[in-house]
Amino acid sequence: MPTRVKRPSILLKLSVTAGLVAFQGYLGYHLLTGTFGLESQKDMLAEIEVLKARQAALDTEIEAYRHRIALFEPQRLDPDIITERSRELLGLVHPDDIIIVPDDTK
């Protein structure tokens, strides 16, 4: 009894090849336009630059607040600063102060 080896169909080979090419196309498309693709990477880098600029501005603001807080430490407390700030906040004056009121009727 002779056995015959069946050749694979050319359509099967073509369909597997077409499926793999389509899958590569799918991966290529998402490489370019996906969430973490090349176009999105450019947007992320631009956003990183904006956030670094905001961080630098906030760091400057934090340092300014730290400096102002350091002025009120008990070891380095300046009485002139305290009286000046309290007068400004409360709107009070000392009896010996001279007040000059500008004339706005001109």
Question: Residue 68's closest CA among 80, 81, 52?
Answer: 81
Full pLDDT tens readout for the chain, 106 residues = 677 778 878 999 999 999 999 999 999 999 998 888 888 899 999 999 999 999 999 999 999 999 888 877 777 777 777 788 888 888 888 788 887 878 877 6
Give pLDDT, residue 106.
Answer: 64
Residue 35: per-residue pLDDT: 85
C-alpha span between 84 and 72 (Å, rounded): 13
Closest residue by Cα to residue 85 from 95, 73, 71: 71
| Model pLDDT, residue 73 | 75
Q: What is the pTM of this model?
A: 0.48
